[in-house]
Structure 1
Amino acid sequence: MTRTTLRERKKAERRELLSAVATDLFFERGFDAVTIADIAESADVGKMTVWNYFPRKEDLLFDRFAEQIDLVTKALARREGRRVSDVIRDHELELIEAASPLAGIGARVGRFWEVVAESAVLTTRWHAHFRELAGLLGQAYGASLSLSQADLAASLVAATMEHVQRLPLQLQLGAPTEVAEQQETRRRIVTEAFDRLEAGLAALCV
């Protein structure tokens, strides 16, 4: 088991603080109306400190994207012959059971999606993240499929991941609910979406 050093913990805490401060400002004013100077002032740090932790302003809101890439990478590494779509389905369900923010569970997820939808920069970054996931999934498929089949299958799985993460956020707009209710909604969405995905992949002989 890898132990983190005090310095690493301090850096993680600072990163989390900067993201939390920035997210509050984005929720209050909208992403495009907030500057790095505003975030630095609210966090009582210099602008360069913000840039050092977050080279892109949009990653202050999407601070868990790197974590998701890491979790998916590890899940695929453990798949041991299982279908990629099954691994990703289980990954999504595990996030829901843990009430993870990566599953779109929380009191302010509706506002989160409003902020994303209002900003072209954020929506571009959102879609780029799922293209990155598609590339990762394509590598997992690559050993057993042709290049065109792997690309198509990976794109379909990534699109399903995007769907099951976006739709619950949209459903939360103006309708805050308890965590248990959010989890139940997300389980249903994941199950229905991946059932349809797997039927489509089977038709493609993937």
Structure 2
Amino acid sequence: MSEIGLRERKKQRMYESLSDIAVRLFLEKGYDAVSVAEIAAAAEISKPTLFRYFPSKEDLVFHRIADHQDEAARVVRAHPGAPLDALRLHFLDGIERCDPITGLNDHPAVRAFYDLLYGTPALVARLYAHLERSEEALAEALGGDLDARLAAGQVIAVQRVLAQENWRRIGGGERAEEARADAAVAAEGAFRALAAGFPRLA
């Protein structure tokens, strides 16, 4: 492997390590109770070094879901002929796999992470910025015009609401396998409504 490849792998391992350390501390003590200095000390690096990897405290948490920010856009680009159908099938596949992003995952570590995310005001505010960027990326993939922006806003909102409903049921004590069938039915209905509203994308 080239020196550049080794350097990039080392850099990615540092991102993962710092995020893991920070999230562990946040779960143990609470997000607001943990300082950036404490995270840097736990990682045995300086604060300036930490900030070179993560410009903000919130970034340490969102690193875990950063790949999902342009996920919908990637799905559309891979299936340009029927974008809404591709997005529907992708979301249904996520439900089947209990992908945490669909809200249908009852693993204790996953639940703890999302309880942290949804239960911390600073992270909730950042989550909406994350969703706005997802919407912008999807709108661009759909063509970038007004119809594309309207459709992207609706798709991201639908996925968010479906995931939140699934998390509500899991948080209420249901097991993922118990809620899976209802979650799939709800997703099918929601995407049918989207297709009716945006027939050219169906």
Q: TM-score, normalised by structure 2?
A: 0.79
Give 1:93's aligned amino acid.
Answer: L
User: CA 1:151–1:110 in 2, change beyond 3 Å: closer, same or farther?
Assistant: same
Quote the residue 1:155 is aligned against.
153
User: CA 1:151–1:170 in 2, change beyond 3 Å: closer, same or farther?
Assistant: same
How far residue 56 of structure 1 moved from its aligned partner, in angstroms, is 1.9
8 Å contact from structure 1 (residues 112, 169) kept in 2 = no
- For residues 122 and 115 of structure 1, the distance between their equivalents in structure 2, rounded to whole angstroms, comes to 8
Quote the residue 2:88 is aligned against.
89
1:193 to 186, 190, 193: 190
8 Å contact from structure 1 (residues 93, 190) kept in 2 = yes
Q: Which stretch of structure 1 is more off in the superposition, 23-32 or 182-191?
A: 182-191
How far residue 125 of structure 1 moved from its aligned partner, in angstroms, is 1.0
8 Å contact from structure 2 (residues 139, 151) kept in 1 = yes
- Which residues in structure 2 correspond to 1:1-206 (within 5 Å)? 5-82=5-82, 84-104=83-103, 105=105, 106-142=107-143, 147-173=145-171, 175=173, 177=175, 180=177, 186-202=183-199
How far residue 122 of structure 1 moved from its aligned partner, in angstroms, is 0.8
Tell me the percent identity.
33
Give 2:166's aligned amino acid.
Answer: P
Give 2:51's aligned amino acid.
Answer: W
Structure 1 unaligned regions, length at least 5: none
- For residues 115 and 64 of structure 2, the distance between their equivalents in structure 1, rounded to whole angstroms, comes to 18
How far residue 109 of structure 1 moved from its aligned partner, in angstroms, is 3.2
- For residues 72 and 163 of structure 1, the distance between their equivalents in structure 2, rounded to whole angstroms, comes to 15
**Structure in which a larger fraction of residues adopt helix:** 2
Q: Which stretch of structure 1 is more off in the superposition, 18-27 or 67-76?
A: 67-76
Residues 123-145 of structure 1 show CA distances to partners (whole Å, capped at 9, x for unaligned) of 111111111111122223336xx
Q: TM-score, normalised by structure 1?
A: 0.78
Structure 2 unaligned regions, length at least 5: none
- For residues 179 and 26 of structure 2, the distance between their equivalents in structure 1, rounded to whole angstroms, comes to 23
- For residues 186 and 51 of structure 1, the distance between their equivalents in structure 2, rounded to whole angstroms, comes to 40
User: CA 1:87–1:186 in 2, change beyond 3 Å: closer, same or farther?
Assistant: same
Q: Calculate the aligned-residue CA RMSD, in Å.
A: 2.9
- For residues 13 and 139 of structure 1, the distance between their equivalents in structure 2, rounded to whole angstroms, comes to 31
How far residue 172 of structure 1 moved from its aligned partner, in angstroms, is 2.7
In the alignment of these two chains, the number of paired residues is: 197
- For residues 186 and 21 of structure 1, the distance between their equivalents in structure 2, rounded to whole angstroms, comes to 33
How far residue 11 of structure 1 moved from its aligned partner, in angstroms, is 1.6
Give 3-state SS (helix, strand or coil) of 2:62's partner.
coil
Give 1:201's aligned amino acid.
Answer: F
Give 2:68's aligned amino acid.
Answer: Q
How far residue 62 of structure 1 moved from its aligned partner, in angstroms, is 1.5
